[in-house]
Amino acid sequence: MKKANYKALLPIGVFLVLYLGLGILFEYVLEVSMGFYNIPIVVIFMIALGVACVQNRALSLDKKLEVMAKGVGDKNIITMVLIFILAGMFVGVVGRSSAESVAYFVLSFIPAQFSVLVLFVVSAFVSLAMGTSVGTITLLVPIAVAIAQSSGFGAPVCIGSVVGGAMFGDNLSFISDTTIAACNGQGCAMKDKFRENFGIALPAALASLVVIALLTVGADVGEPVLGDYNLVRIIPYLLVLLGGIAGINVFLVLMIGIVSGSMIMLATGATEATALLASMGSGVSGMFETSMVAVLVSAICALIAEYGGFEALLQLIKKLFKGQKGGKLGMGLLVGAMDIATANNTVAIVMANPIAKEMSQTYDISPRKAASILDTFSCIFQGILPYGAQMLVAVSAAAELGCMVSAFEVIPNLIYPFMLLLSSLVFVFILPEKKN
């Protein structure tokens, strides 16, 4: 046990002040579009790492580099980065064209009054298969706007349904970066975390469907606009989804997805053979920032742990939260606070992982439950942040189509994140802890 040292937490404070402060400045003072996402998060983490290196002069720079190397070289960090790369290759190969196919296929035989329900279900499926809520929102918000304009449903209701469904899928997906980060950080199998999460997310999703139905079904609406669809391109997503549920090794599952996706994209003429490798490279490039954040955060956390910062934070948490239930709530609020500060649920999980790992041992919380809590609470907070990527992308995509809607109009229609919060509180305070 290291001696508690609150000063060791300074790098986290520096990161939060710079990232959150500059984000507010860009977004609300300078009114820069997507202000929070114009801040290079890797650069901010490098500054925080520099602060950590300057601290504790009792250790030489060589010793600090050794400590950082051990943190970065941890099996879970290496595994996480490799999975990020393979997930990027998969998304690069199959693209995102199947999302519209799923939506238009379902809408082709579902009555118009159920359009908002369909948007939620389709968004949930697409996000579950793709592993990205932002990508799902980018693809489906234009469809939501078209449905709102043609059917008569309000745009905030349709967009809120898409965002809610996207957060459901992202929270459970086997190739989501949040799932990868939470499972590898806590040392649990993805299938175990999925089963744990499913028991929280499914009741929330069913409750959301009931609420959406009460708000929309029976309304006097017209017929939504429909487009073409090609269901063959959904097969790679289904293989990845079913392989993950079956408990097949995640590396093998992703390789199956990459190979099957390559064959189908070539056979259907969706891409040319010469462009296939370029698509893989583009997908991997999209994972660069996430991978670098994982590496830098692991280096920073290794130094903080060496200096006694996590011991100090654990002492504070023990004073505020008592017992196993208090520990679960404290873990959820910890990752929630990180998410509010960073507006990125993956980064929040990566930052909270080492602290949550210590908390799980202190409060006797199983790894699968710890991973589930981190992923679920980060999803709750990320889903309702007015300056989160999901909300900014949704509002921007709608604006490009001439549908001007604000984040604060959409937030009251985000049924699923609020239902997920209620379900999570039941999970924390009522359901008993099951041993591994």
- pTM for the model stands at 0.71
Q: Coil, helix or strand for 344?
A: coil
Give helix then strand counts, H and E, for the chain. 21, 0
Cα gap 62→67, rounded to integer Å: 9
DSSP string across 193-258: HHHHHHHHHHHHHHHHHHHHHHHHTT----PPP-----GGGGHHHHHHHHHHHTT--HHHHHHHHH
| Tokens coding 57 | 């002069």
Q: Measuring CA to CA, which residue among 414, 425, 418, 432 is closest to residue 166? A: 414
Average pLDDT of adjacent 10-residue blocks, the chain of 436 residues? 79 85 80 70 89 90 91 76 80 67 70 81 82 75 77 83 90 81 85 87 93 78 65 78 70 85 84 84 80 83 84 79 85 84 75 84 88 91 79 76 79 91 87 58
**Amino acid of residue 125:** F
On whether the CB atoms of residues 112 and 221 are closer than 8 A, the answer is: yes
Cα gap 2→6, rounded to integer Å: 12
Sign of the Cα pseudo-torsion (379, 380, 382, 383, in order): positive
Helices 190-216 and 367-384: crossing angle in degrees, nearest 10, is: 30
Q: What is the pLDDT of residue 272?
A: 83
Cα gap 387→29, rounded to integer Å: 13
On whether the CB atoms of residues 290 and 346 are closer than 8 A, the answer is: yes
